[in-house]
Structure 1
Amino acid sequence: MTTPLQPRNTAMFYFQAWISFATAMTAMGIGIAYLPVSAWVRGFIGLGALFLVTSSFTLAKVIRDRQETETMVNRVDQARLEKLLSDHDVFRPETV
């Protein structure tokens, strides 16, 4: 049984993802800090931004977990099918 190779992300892809995340968070923080509004409004927007980031991480994890589960189920189903096909020999004479 051969398993297909899973595509892997490169180190530069991870680096780009972390850099873009850090840049976006820094820009959002600076933007909120320099808003010409009261501290209560800045706090509210900051908490909204924090909630958005944490919920995005949660959504990404849920989607990844679902994909891994589906992949695992597909692998188990494929292994069962391969075993069934290997056990069934069409050229073997039937015994009565």
Structure 2
Amino acid sequence: MSRKSVNQDHSSAWVVQTWLSFVLSISATAIGILYLPVDGWVKGFMGMGLTFTVGSTISLTKTQRDIHEGKKLTTRIEEARVERILTEHDSLK
């Protein structure tokens, strides 16, 4: 009852695409804010909103990853306990 851990690495093309997407979206939004025909206070407020949105998105994704990793660890521990119980049960026969 052994399971191998499968490590799924991302391809370099995927990593490049995600970074380009991130940089382009932030750049386009920042340029859009800079060229808005509004007062500097409004631009500052929108820039601050963009910054907080990016920061909270990063925190959210990290939290979701940590929860997922924690569930994987808990599952591995439970599987090891079950395997040990089954091994001990078989040796009693």
Cα-Cα RMSD: 1.4
Give the drift of 1:66. 0.3
Give the drift of 1:90. 7.3
SS class of match (2:90): coil
* Runs (5+) with no aligned partner, structure 1: none
Which residue identity is paired with 1:40?
W
Give the drift of 1:82. 0.7
- Partner Cα separation in structure 2 for residue 6 and residue 25 of structure 1: 31
Who is 2:32 aligned against?
31
Runs of 4+ off more than 3 Å: none
Who is 1:40 aligned against?
41
Percent of residue pairs identical: 36
How many residues are aligned here?
A: 92
- Partner Cα separation in structure 2 for residue 35 and residue 63 of structure 1: 35
* Structure ranking higher in helix proportion: 2
1:13 aligns with 2:14: yes
SS class of match (1:35): coil
Kindly name which structure, 1 or 2, has the bigger radius of gyration based on alpha carbons: 1
